[in-house]
């Protein structure tokens, strides 16, 4: 799940300065769940832009705009409206924005309507929590399924720092120390001896950007 939030209208209008005919692209997946790029948000954005004198030439909501096939299919269905468009405003994460740009054959100007915040897990109440930093070197097997890279502000791999106090992180009293959580989890699983193994520093080459995965057929 990629969490996003909508940009202020003033920032969006600044991006669209000089463009009058706008096509809106939403997201039927993450942005819909985050309420930043689903149908209600698209309709509201249309009304806001029209109130500012913009013409909305059309709109679509790909199931997942980060997938080229989904975006291409929606663009094919809206080819007439796109031919009358000057710019595309994307109500999705940065991945969706770049996918729209890459799959727009007309070479239109493409702008984001949202800021991308983080990758998250969603609990039963619909709350979003950042759980993974996508670091390329997962240590969950030895930390009880709790990620110190994400949950520890210092990304420590071998236990808590000296700022931990009564199980809380020095960053804030309402924040549990990641390594205290890891200790308690491993204690429940009778896996505490594994903490005696010193882990080497992270191999940051595995997180060097941009990364690419080529699928071999």
Contacts of 147 (CB under 8 A, 6+ apart): 131, 132, 133, 139, 140, 178
Question: Where in the chain are the domains?
Answer: 2-118, 136-207
Tokens matching residue 117: 């915040």
- 154 close to 179: Cβ distance less than 8 angstroms: no
CA-to-CA dists, residue 100 to 4, 32, 39, 64, 65, angstroms: 17, 17, 18, 11, 7
Question: Would you state the CATH architecture of domain 2-118?
Answer: 3-Layer(aba) Sandwich (3.40)
Taking the CA atoms of residue 117, residue 119, residue 121 and residue 122 in that order, the dihedral angle to the nearest 10 degrees is 40
pLDDT at 211 exceeding the cut of 80: no
pLDDT digits (tens, 9 = 90+) for 158-189: 999 999 999 999 998 789 999 999 999 999 99
CA atoms within 13 A on the CB side of 45: 33
pLDDT at residue 7 tops 90: yes
Taking the CA of residue 146 as centre, how many other CA atoms within 13 Å lie in the half-sphere pointing to its CB? 19
- Provide the whole-model pTM: 0.86
Closest C-alpha to 74, from 128, 28, 127? 28
**For the segment 96-118, what is each residue's pLDDT rounded down to a tens digit?**
999 999 999 999 999 999 999 99
For the stretch 177-183, contacts whose Cβ atoms lie closer than 8 Å and that sit 24 or more positions apart, written own/partner, are 177/152, 178/146, 178/147, 178/148, 178/151, 178/152, 179/148, 179/152, 181/146, 181/151, 182/143, 182/144, 182/146, 182/148
Residue 132 in this model has a pLDDT that exceeds 80: yes
């Amino acid at each position: 799940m990629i969490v996003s939030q909508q940009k202020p209208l003033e920032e969006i209008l600044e991006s669209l300065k000089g463009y009058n005919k706008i096509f809106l692209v939403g997201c039927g997946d993450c942005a819909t769940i985050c309420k930043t790029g689903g149908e209600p948000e698209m309709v509201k954005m249309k009304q806001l832009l029209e109130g500012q004198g913009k013409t909305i030439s059309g709109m679509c909501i790909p199931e997942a705009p980060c997938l080229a096939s989904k975006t291409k299919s929606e663009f094919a269905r809206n080819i007439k409206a796109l031919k009358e468009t000057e710019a595309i405003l994307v109500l999705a994460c940065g991945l969706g924005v770049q996918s729209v740009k890459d799959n727009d054959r007309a070479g239109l100007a493409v702008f984001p309507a949202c800021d991308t915040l983080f990758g998250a897990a969603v609990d039963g109440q619909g709350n979003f929590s950042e759980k993974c930093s996508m670091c390329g070197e997962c240590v969950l097997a030895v930390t009880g399924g709790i990620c110190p890279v994400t949950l520890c502000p210092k990304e420590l791999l071998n236990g808590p720092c000296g700022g931990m106090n009564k199980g809380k992180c020095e960053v804030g009293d309402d924040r549990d120390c990641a390594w205290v959580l890891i200790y308690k989890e491993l204690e429940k699983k009778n896996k505490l001896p594994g903490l005696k193994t010193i882990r080497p520093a992270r191999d940051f080459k595995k997180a060097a950007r941009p990364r690419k995965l080529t699928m071999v057929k």
